[in-house]
Amino acid sequence: MAGPKVCVVGSSNLDMNSYVDRFPVPGETVHGRRFTTGYGGKGANQAVTAARLGGSVTLVTRIGRDLFGRDMVGHFRREGIDTRHVTTTDETATGVAVITVDAAGRNHIVVTPGANGALTVRDVEEARPAIGAAGVLVCQQEVPRETNLAAMRIAHRAGVPVVFNPAPAGDALPDEMYPLCTVLCPNEHEAALLTGRPAGSRAEAETAAAAFLARGVGSVVITLGERGCLLATADQVLALPAPVVEAVDTTGAGDAFVGSLAFFLARGDDLAEAAWRATRIAAVSVRFPGTQTSFPRAADLPPDVLR
């Protein structure tokens, strides 16, 4: 039986992970303790999370016609993701992310978009049936903005809820984008950049959330790392704490949250319930190294998270 339908429009990268005792300062070289490669990109990460929870997931993404890209398609298929809208380009290589993780589990990430920058409005138009049939559409900011807007417009017209993760945050979002967001899901740093005000404390996060609601979004979920998340709608503001865990690697935790949130919303959970469950799953992911390698499968989770 098919699970909740989630369509993700977004990026796919090869992750290159170096583990160090501490981050180097500018001009310094430090020795790494370990090096690994893995699959990443915010779009792919969120798609894999939803698929591992039991979702019926379609990914709309672009890869290079290279070894990394060919390997990635096989990986998506093994994860049970529909790859009909995974397209290739000869113009540039598959996207990569260079990730450094210190002994405290914190990370520095440099992303080279590559083929992700070649995902076009036409690619999204060709995926219109998949978007329209989804229970939730998920977008982020590692593909061109006009591509995201095209996908969000299609979903909005079809009555499909949109979860928009404005990561990585850069320039201000166009005014049109906010009303297309059923759920805007930034972290505290992205919320601060987009509103021009701090969002670290609960009071600051509430103020940032109110600013987003005033711009027309349906609801806001601001993730706060080890402190959980803050949910805000026109009717309520709710703080959801995260379980206390020992973090090994926080890379990808935000994507685990967004992918989980989309899965539970597509399943029919209300926003507060979906956000609570997503917080639990993100907390599981930080206990393990890597990005997608840290994302749990449904069978790995306590029964109360999925029931």
Residues classed as catalytic = 255
- How many Å apart are CA 278 and CA 256, to the nearest integer? 7
Q: Vertex 79, ends 291 and 280: CA angle to 5°?
A: 50
Single-letter amino acid code for the residue at 212: F
- How many Å apart are CA 59 and CA 68, to the nearest integer? 17
Structure-token pair, residue 171: 């320039």
Residue showing tokens 């590559």: 114
Beta bridge partners of 69: none
Structure-token pair, residue 17: 């992970």
User: Beta strand 5-9 with 56-64: parallel, antiparallel or unpaired?
Assistant: parallel
User: What residues contact 261, with CB distance under 8 A and at least 6 apart?
Assistant: 163, 183, 185, 221, 274, 275, 278
Contact yes or no for 93/42 (Cβ under 8 A): no
The kind and range of the H/E element at 14 are strand 13-20
Single-letter amino acid code for the residue at 65: R
Residue 297: which of 45, 2, 48, 58 has the closest Cα?
48
Pick left, alpha or beta for residue 121 (phi over 0 → left; psi -120 to 50 → alpha; otherwise beta).
alpha
